[in-house]
Structures are given as C-alpha cells and as structure tokens.
Amino acid sequence: TYTATYRVRVGGPVISQLVARPGPGRVTITWTTDVPADSQVQYGPTTNYGNATALDRTLVTAHSVTVTGLSRKANYFFQVLSRDGVGSLSSATGSFRTR
C-alpha cells in the first residue's frame, strides 16, 4: 500500500542568487529558481523599463540572459521574470551601470 500526499504550491518560483554582470554596452543577468521556470528580463533607464528580452520558454532552474546594445557608462534598472510550468509568475528587481 502506498500513500501520496500532495501540497498545493502558493505563489510562483522562488528567485534567488540574482546577479548583474555589466560590461561595455552590455549586461549578463543570472538568477536561480527553486523549480524549473522560463526566463525574461525587462530593462531600461527608469523603473518603467520600456524594453524586454525575448521570452525563453525553456524551463530551467539556472537562468542567464545577456542584453547587448546598451549605452556605455549608463545606469539601468531591470526586472527578471520567471513563470513555472503551471503558469505562476515571480519577479525580482535590480540595477546596474554599464562600463
């Protein structure tokens, strides 16, 4: 005899280890999620962002998105978005300065 106990998950993936590694006119943003999820980054010179990377629908726990074509020596704000396999969305924010 086997007994299975299921627990409903509340909220989206837990985002951790969020790091922005800026370079000249570019940035690579990495983060992890506790469950497989997709990857997208919104970014811009203000917290209104205004730009977004293409949605990477691959469900992974280690995320990495590189944004190119940015102004050099400029401040940017960003928000990472990850949605798990059942559609629950989580986000985390940060900022960086390009070189």
pLDDT tens-digit map of 16-44: 999 999 999 999 999 999 999 999 999 99
CB 76 within 8 A of CB 96: yes
d(CA 72, CA 77): 14
Structure tokens at 86: 């059942």
Spans in the chain with pLDDT lower than 50: none
User: Quick one: pLDDT at residue 11?
Assistant: 87
Whether the model pTM is above 0.85: yes
d(CA 64, CA 7): 30
